Structure 1
Amino acid sequence: MLHVVGDEVFEPLFRAARRYAFHLEVQDTYGVADEVEALRRWKAGETYEPEEQPASWKAWDDLVVETAGRGVTLERLRVVTVPHSDYTRWLLSQTEIRLEVGEAVRWLPRHLADPADVPGDDFWLFDDDTVAFTTFAESGEFMGLSITTDPGIVSRCVNARATLWPHGIDHIQYVDSEHAHAQ
């Protein structure tokens, strides 16, 4: 059974994680409200100082640091189209902070993955027993989480992680790869 909920349950999912939290991102662009200004400034070549960033960014970083500090492995795999969208290029420029706060980030060019192995939805997988699908409107706006512990659904997400993560390219290598610089 899926339970569609708001953002307020996200934090407890991380606090309950004991072994790992894995995030699969499969969209090439998002319209998340608190990223719009940062993306606009990046496109214009303007800076976005840390003190100007939304409080939600610091809260997220603090949660990740706390979670990693408990020994929970944090993995983020971004399946992306090459050449990259503006949004993906912006993410590439912003990913270093993800590494600094404790996430392992890998990139997987979509053309290198079997389409049958790539789920159509983004999700967080916690400890092989809980999945939180991040749901988005067609505009890319975050709509909430759909959470399930259904063994069949969880198993499919566990298999997606096991299949895709090993093929992802570590962020440090990816930024220097031909994929990151394709036009």
Structure 2
Amino acid sequence: MPTFEELLASAQQSAIHLEMRDGYMPSDPAFAAWKEGKLTDPVGGDADFQQWLDWVEQASGRGVEFRRARVISVPESDYIRFEHFSSQANVEAGENIRWLPRRRATDIALPGNDFWVFDNELVLVLHFTGDGELADRELTRDERVLRLCTSAFESVWERAVPHEDYRLS
């Protein structure tokens, strides 16, 4: 299984990501610091987040289009509020982010897991524990999975609110 960095480095045109959970990685020290009111800079000296931003900048510089869509519950969970706080750094690095309140996604067929699609041909499925920790990754080129993921993403993207316009409840 290639690393995420390798997958991203191999992308030539696009990287799309659909997130559908209201919480991720409760063990993340940056999330804990934010909840305690100690994190005022989204990057906050977080080496992993800075590395992510560097990868996005490098890929964007090669012409890779990044789109991230989030299906979220309203009112937003603490973790979604944290993501909103840190998302401007993602946008500045080259990501285009949109937010879709879950109530507006009822009639969209969504896969059971979050995913990435690279260059409209390779799907990275992300499996999380109930608590939101990453448990496993699965890579597939299965056409049915690819069609479902890209269709779901585009349906969410079409309805979602651009990051710069989304206001937390």
Q: What CA distance in whole angstroms lies between the structure 2 residues aligned with 1:26 and 1:47?
A: 25
Partner residue in 1 for 2:133: 141
Conserved 8 A contact 2:72-2:102: yes
What SS does the aligned partner of 1:28 have? coil
Q: What CA distance in whole angstroms lies between the structure 2 residues aligned with 1:106 and 1:57?
A: 19
After superposition, the CA RMSD in angstroms is 1.7
What SS does the aligned partner of 2:18 have? strand
1:20 aligns with 2:1: no
1:120 aligns with 2:102: no
Conserved 8 A contact 1:117-1:164: no
Q: How many percent identity over aligned positions?
A: 35
TM-score normalised per structure 2: 0.92
Q: What CA distance in whole angstroms lies between the structure 2 residues aligned with 1:47 and 1:140?
A: 21
1:111 aligns with 2:103: yes
Tell me which stretches of 4 or more aligned residues in structure 1 moved more than 6 Å. none
Distance 1:93 1:100, change over 3 A: same
Q: What CA distance in whole angstroms lies between the structure 1 residues aligned with 2:104 and 2:146?
A: 24
Q: What CA distance in whole angstroms lies between the structure 1 residues aligned with 2:130 and 2:84?
A: 23
Conserved 8 A contact 1:28-1:85: yes
Partner residue in 2 for 1:58: 50
Consecutive unaligned residues of structure 1, counting only runs of 5 or more, are none
Conserved 8 A contact 1:21-1:72: yes
1:69 aligns with 2:61: yes
Q: What CA distance in whole angstroms lies between the structure 2 residues aligned with 1:128 and 1:27?
A: 23
Q: What CA distance in whole angstroms lies between the structure 1 residues aligned with 2:146 and 2:20?
A: 17
Conserved 8 A contact 2:11-2:119: yes
